[in-house]
């Protein structure tokens, strides 16, 4: 997007602002139109189905009522006594009565459209009176035994409608009405055959999307259907019909899809006849107009989109004109090196760079101000009073406080350089805000865990510079330092001074006070007036304890050494006055005499203290007597462990040295030498290194060179003779090793020493 022109971006934004809501609205409205249209069509189709059902039921009911009324006129009584066809023909009167029944049946047929035929059957007679074949015998008419099965489902005294197919192949719905005693004394039945096509005309919908219809009995037998091949079959086998009948809902509608066609099924149940009326409509045909409307809405939306696009381009051009003008102006006046970006991305980068440059400038100014202030403080601590310092300290009185991190070496091991730098920044920033508003305080870092704070205050506080106000502030400084560094601090506060060259002396006083944590422990606040110096005191040194410690060292008695170290510490603590330098002198001297004693006894101190580094620097970095005593305990513990571990090796070392001193002028095979002494070659090499601090070969060569130096100065032997005398069988090897250990040739060494020893 950063490379797309701003004009195009604005056009797209404006277009999306318009297009997205319009698209959602169009889609939602189209979906709602379709849904509502389907529901309205379904409700309308169900209403139409109920209307057709009522029409069909009314027609059938009228026909049935006409049949009932005809039976109540006693017209059938005239032939009640004539059981055979022959009896009807015996007289004109008998036949006239039968023709009267026939005429009434014909009139009954004409009252309702679609009646195929009707007939009357007298119970026990061998003839029927029908409208299609007249008065004829039963054997010449179609069978009537089906009526017994049809009447098995009759309820009450009314007739029953029964679908069937005539022998002529015509499908009819027959109304069977048995005559009853309430209407006539004649026994028989009237059958009216209504064409199935007439029922179809009642049920067929005039909807343009009609896909089919059906009229079924409660058990699913199809009474009427648009597909005549399905008449009198089980309708439950048709798609969705079984689910429809099993729902138990008297009327309703449902949508189904069959072979890619969306169909609407509507159904209504007739309580009078216990028939199911079902109508099937094609929603694709019914929704044609609705879909046409939806397409029109879509086309209208497209037209609006097109018009909106043009409007978006116009608005984008108009709105982006000031921005494009600004970008051209910025590009013309400055070279930012930005290419391939649009106007918005260009301005974003340009303003970000301006902001970064402004922040860098402010940071540089603040840093320069801090550096200037820190420089003024450093100069003031050196005794140089500058104009900057005078402006920073307007009050007449000053104090200098030195803040030192306790166990500074441990703190350095825990925090890296970046973390320590950040801690120093936090401390200098926060501690200056902890003092009263009338006290001007500035803090600088002086290295090795020391911070110097110069406090400037007025006359009203001059009498109590170590009182509540400054003391409480220093307590807060100590708390803040503990939170920042994770270590306690010791604070030394100098005596009061004016803003002059004495500030350097006051800083020295405060720094000197820090040394008193060696006796008093860390995390304290020490004011100068509490520890007045006294240089008239002499140095204290526990010489008796020194001799005891060396004696205990020879016997390997570590417990007695530790007890004597505790005695030394107790003497220091109970001394009337003892300086920091005196304390450091005691422990440095104790280290020195111990190392000297070990070397006098041919014990390799390099091997013992290889992992300790500079032991004198180590004790100089310790803050308290407890830490010093702990260090000395470890120091002597290592010596005792080493001596205990190497007692057996010392005996072998002396034997090896004596052997080399006796046989140095011979060709020595070290493996044979080890066997003669009774140890392995590798073990012998290790013992020599630990005993002398040198390898076996270096020690042998150095021993030979020492003997050669003696022969060079005390005899007149030639270089070749001396080489053979000390064990070298060629002069080249002798010269090489002599240069290695002495830095010059044998002849040069002899000349130099001879020239030096001659008088004058």
Question: Would you say 584 and 629 are in contact if contact means Cβ atoms under 8 Å apart?
Answer: no
For 303, the enclosing helix (H) or strand (E) is: helix 288-333
d(CA 228, CA 225): 6
What is the 8-class DSSP label of residue 247?
T
pLDDT of residue 335: 63
pLDDT of residue 9: 64
Structure tokens at 579: 């300086």
Please count the residues of the chain: 760
CB atoms within 10 A of CB 69: 11
Res 642 pLDDT > 80: no
Res 684 pLDDT > 70: yes
Strands across the sheet containing 251-258: 222-225, 210-217, 275-282, 261-270, 251-258
Res 221 pLDDT > 80: yes
Res 532 pLDDT > 50: no
Distance of alpha carbon 371 from the chain centroid: 43
Spatial CB neighbours of 459, under 8 Å, sequence gap ≥ 6: 396, 397
Question: Would you say 543 and 629 are in contact if contact means Cβ atoms under 8 Å apart?
Answer: no
User: For 591-595, which contacts have Cβ atoms below 8 Å and span 24 or more sequence positions?
Assistant: 591/615, 591/616, 591/619, 591/635, 593/546, 593/550, 594/549, 594/550, 594/553, 594/635, 594/636, 594/639
d(CA 187, CA 190): 10
Structure tokens at 647: 């007692």
Q: 3-state class of 204 per DSSP? A: coil
Three-class DSSP labels, 33-95: HHHHHHHHHHHHHHHHHHHHHHHHHHHHHHHHHHHHHHHCCCHHHHHCCCCCHHHHCCCHHHH
pLDDT of residue 75: 87
Residues of the chain above pLDDT 70, percent? 87
Res 204 pLDDT > 70: yes
Res 649 pLDDT > 60: no
Q: Average pLDDT in the 583-590 region?
A: 88
CB atoms within 10 A of CB 539: 10
d(CA 35, CA 44): 14
Res 539 pLDDT > 90: no
d(CA 232, CA 158): 23
Beta bridge partner(s), residue 214: 225, 278
How does residue 534 score in pLDDT terms, banded at 50, 70 and 90? very low
Structure tokens at 3: 């490379």
Comparing C-alpha atoms, which of 406, 510, 404 is closest to residue 455? 510
Res 504 pLDDT > 70: yes
Listed in order, strand segments (DSSP E) in 144-233 are 160-165, 171-178, 188-195, 210-217, 222-225
> Checking DSSP bridges between strand 525-527 and strand 489-493, what pairing results, if any?
parallel
- For 439-479, how does the pLDDT look when each residue is reduced to its tens digit (9 = 90+)? 889 899 988 889 999 988 887 766 554 555 788 888 999 99
d(CA 586, CA 581): 9
Beta bridge partner(s), residue 223: none
Query: For residue 100, what are the CA distances in angstroms to 107, 124, 680?
Result: 11, 20, 154
pLDDT of residue 451: 93
Q: Which residue, chain included where needed, has tokens 């041919």?
A: 602
d(CA 753, CA 678): 42
Task: Identify the weakest region by mean pLDDT among 191-195, 385-389, 585-589.
Answer: 385-389
Distance of alpha carbon 407 from the chain centroid: 41
| Angle value at C-alpha 629, between 625 and 634, nearest 5 degrees | 150
pLDDT of residue 244: 81
Q: 3-state class of 447 per DSSP? A: strand
Structure tokens at 662: 């006796």
**How does the average pLDDT of the chain come out, rounded?**
81
pLDDT of residue 351: 75
Q: Looking at per-residue confidence, does 98 or 655 come out higher? A: 98
How does residue 760 score in pLDDT terms, banded at 50, 70 and 90? very low
- For 391-445, how does the pLDDT look when each residue is reduced to its tens digit (9 = 90+)? 888 888 888 999 999 888 888 888 888 899 899 888 988 888 888 888 889 899 9
Structure tokens at 747: 């002849």
SS3 content of the chain, % helix, strand, coil (to 5): 60, 15, 25
Angle between helices 696-714 and 681-692 (to 10 degrees): 60
Q: Which residue, chain included where needed, has tokens 């825990």?
A: 414
Query: For residue 48, what are the CA distances in angstroms to 43, 143, 215, 353?
Result: 9, 38, 15, 77
Q: Average pLDDT in the 273-284 region?
A: 85
pLDDT of residue 461: 67
Residues of the chain above pLDDT 90, percent? 8
Highest mean pLDDT, choosing among 148-157, 239-248, 360-369, 415-424 = 415-424
pLDDT of residue 117: 92
Comparing C-alpha atoms, which of 444, 316, 474, 471 is closest to residue 377? 444
Give pTM, 2 decimals. Answer: 0.42
Task: For residue 195, report the phi and psi dihedrals to the nearest 5 degrees.
Answer: -60, 140
Res 184 pLDDT > 90: no
Structure tokens at 521: 């422990």
Task: For residue 307, report the phi and psi dihedrals to the nearest 5 degrees.
Answer: -65, -40
Q: 3-state class of 264 per DSSP? A: strand
Structure tokens at 234: 């089980």
Task: For residue 490, report the phi and psi dihedrals to the nearest 5 degrees.
Answer: -110, 135
> Checking DSSP bridges between strand 188-195 and strand 171-178, what pairing results, if any?
antiparallel
Q: Looking at per-residue confidence, does 38 or 252 come out higher? A: 252
Query: For residue 160, what are the CA distances in angstroms to 63, 211, 218?
Result: 12, 30, 14
Query: For residue 544, what are the CA distances in angstroms to 570, 577, 600, 665?
Result: 14, 20, 20, 47
Torsion, Cα of 559, 563, 568, 573 (10° steps)? 140
Q: Average pLDDT in the 493-519 region?
A: 83
d(CA 323, CA 350): 13
How does residue 346 score in pLDDT terms, banded at 50, 70 and 90? low
For 397, the enclosing helix (H) or strand (E) is: strand 397-405
d(CA 622, CA 619): 5
Q: Average pLDDT in the 57-67 region?
A: 87
How does residue 512 score in pLDDT terms, banded at 50, 70 and 90? confident
How does residue 130 score in pLDDT terms, banded at 50, 70 and 90? very high
């Amino acid at each position: 997007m950063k490379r797309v022109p701003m004009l195009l971006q604005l056009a797209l934004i404006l277009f999306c602002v318009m297009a997205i809501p319009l698209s959602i609205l169009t889609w939602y409205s189209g979906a709602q139109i379709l849904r509502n249209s389907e529901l309205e069509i379904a409700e309308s189709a169900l209403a139409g189905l109920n209307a057709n059902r009522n029409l069909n039921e009314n027609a059938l009911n009228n026909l049935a009522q006409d049949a009932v009324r005809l039976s109540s006129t006693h017209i059938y009584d005239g032939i009640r006594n004539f059981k055979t066809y022959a009896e009807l023909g015996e007289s004109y009167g008998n036949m006239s009565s039968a023709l009267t029944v026939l005429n009434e049946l014909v009139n009954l047929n004409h009252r309702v459209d679609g009646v195929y035929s009707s007939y009357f059957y007298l119970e026990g007679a061998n003839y029927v009176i029908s409208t299609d074949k007249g008065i004829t015998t039963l054997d010449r008419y179609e069978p009537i035994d089906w009526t017994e099965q049809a009447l098995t489902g009759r309820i009450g005294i009314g007739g029953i409608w029964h679908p069937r197919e005539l022998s002529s192949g015509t499908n009819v719905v027959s109304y069977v009405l048995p005559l009853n005693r309430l209407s006539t004394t004649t026994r028989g039945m009237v059958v009216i055959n209504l064409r199935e096509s007439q029922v179809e005309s009642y049920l067929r919908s005039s909807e343009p999307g009609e896909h089919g219809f059906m009229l079924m009995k409660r058990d699913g037998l199809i009474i009427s259907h648009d597909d005549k091949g399905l008449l009198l079959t089980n309708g439950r086998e048709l798609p969705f019909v079984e689910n429809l009948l099993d729902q138990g809902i008297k009327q309703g509608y449902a949508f189904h899809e069959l072979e890619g066609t969306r169909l609407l099924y509507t159904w209504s149940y007739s309580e009078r006849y216990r028939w199911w009326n079902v109508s099937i409509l094609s929603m694709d045909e019914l929704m044609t107009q609705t879909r046409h409307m939806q397409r029109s809405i879509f086309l209208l939306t497209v037209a609006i989109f097109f018009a909106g696009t043009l409007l978006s381009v116009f608005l984008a051009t108009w709105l982006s004109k000031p921005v494009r003008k600004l970008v051209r102006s910025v590009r013309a006046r400055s070279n930012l090196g930005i290419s391939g970006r649009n106007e918005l991305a260009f301005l974003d980068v340009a303003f970000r760079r301006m902001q970064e440059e402004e922040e860098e400038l402010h940071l540089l100014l603040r840093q320069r101000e801090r550096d200037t202030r820190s420089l003024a403080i450093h100069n003031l601590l050196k005794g140089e009073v500058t104009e900057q310092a005078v402006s920073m300290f307007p009050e007449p009185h000053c104090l200098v406080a030195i803040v030192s991190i306790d166990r500074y070496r441990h703190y350095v091991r825990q925090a890296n350089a970046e973390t320590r730098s950040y801690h120093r920044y936090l401390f200098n920033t926060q501690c200056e805000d902890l003092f009263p508003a009338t006290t001007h305080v500035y803090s600088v870092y002086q290295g090795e865990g020391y911070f110097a704070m110069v406090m400037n205050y007025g006359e009203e506080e001059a009498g109590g510079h170590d009182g509540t106000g400054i003391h409480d502030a220093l307590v807060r400084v100590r708390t803040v330092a503990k939170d920042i560094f994770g270590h306690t601090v010791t604070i030394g506060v100098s005596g009061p001074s004016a803003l002059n060259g004495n500030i350097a002396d006051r800083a020295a006083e405060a720094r000197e006070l820090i040394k008193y944590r060696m006796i008093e422990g860390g995390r304290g606040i020490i004011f100068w007036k509490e520890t007045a110096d006294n240089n008239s005191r002499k140095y204290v040194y526990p010489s008796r304890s020194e001799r005891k410690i060396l004696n205990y060292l020879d016997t390997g008695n570590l417990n007695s050494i530790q007890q004597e170290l505790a005695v030394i510490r107790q003497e220091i603590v109970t001394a009337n006055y003892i300086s920091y330098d005196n304390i450091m002198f005691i422990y440095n001297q104790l280290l020195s005499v111990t190392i000297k004693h070990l070397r006098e006894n041919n014990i390799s101190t390099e091997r013992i203290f290889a992992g300790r580094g500079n032991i004198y620097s180590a004790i100089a970095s310790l803050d308290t007597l407890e830490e010093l005593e702990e260090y000395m305990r470890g120091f002597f513990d290592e010596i005792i462990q080493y001596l205990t571990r190497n007692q057996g090796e010392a005996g072998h070392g002396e034997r090896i040295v004596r052997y080399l001193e006796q046989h140095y002028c011979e060709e020595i095979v070290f493996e044979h030498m080890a066997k003669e002494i009774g140890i392995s070659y590798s073990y012998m090499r290790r013992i020599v290194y630990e005993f002398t601090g040198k390898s076996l070969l270096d020690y042998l060569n150095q021993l030979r060179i020492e003997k050669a130096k003696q022969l060079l100065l005390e005899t007149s032997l030639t270089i070749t003779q001396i080489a053979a005398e000390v064990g070298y069988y060629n002069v080249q090897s002798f010269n090489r090793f002599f240069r290695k250990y002495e830095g010059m040739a044998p002849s040069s060494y002899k000349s130099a020493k001879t020239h030096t020893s001659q008088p004058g």
